[in-house]
Amino acid sequence: MSAAKEKVAFADLEPLICDADNMVDVLMDLVERHFGLVPDGRNYVLTQTEGTRLFFVASTAAAMSMKAKKAYYEAVEGNAS
């Protein structure tokens, strides 16, 4: 890492955490909508669009969560020194 890189402050974490929380909320809404009820048959059925959207939201939520976690630890290390 370069010395010119800005340190992340705790105050900078709020938007990352809120974005990750909002994405998880969207993910849970999709999961509840599609998997909250037992299907008539033996399998849950999603359209290709629904499956693609669900995968996108889950991937984005995971990426946002990892980004927030990384920023948190950078802020902790920055404030400890």
pTM as predicted: 0.68
Cα 28 → chain centroid = 11
pLDDT at 81: 42
> What is the Cα–Cα distance from 76 to 70, expressed in whole angstroms?
10
pLDDT at 24: 92
pLDDT at 74: 83
pLDDT at 4: 40
Per-residue pLDDT tens for 38-58?
888 888 888 999 999 999 999
Residue type, 19: D
pLDDT at 7: 61
Residue 12 tokens read as 């900078």
Residue 25 tokens read as 């909320």
> What is the Cα–Cα distance from 44 to 71, expressed in whole angstroms?
37
- Residue with more model confidence, 62 or 9: 62
> What is the Cα–Cα distance from 29 to 46, expressed in whole angstroms?
15
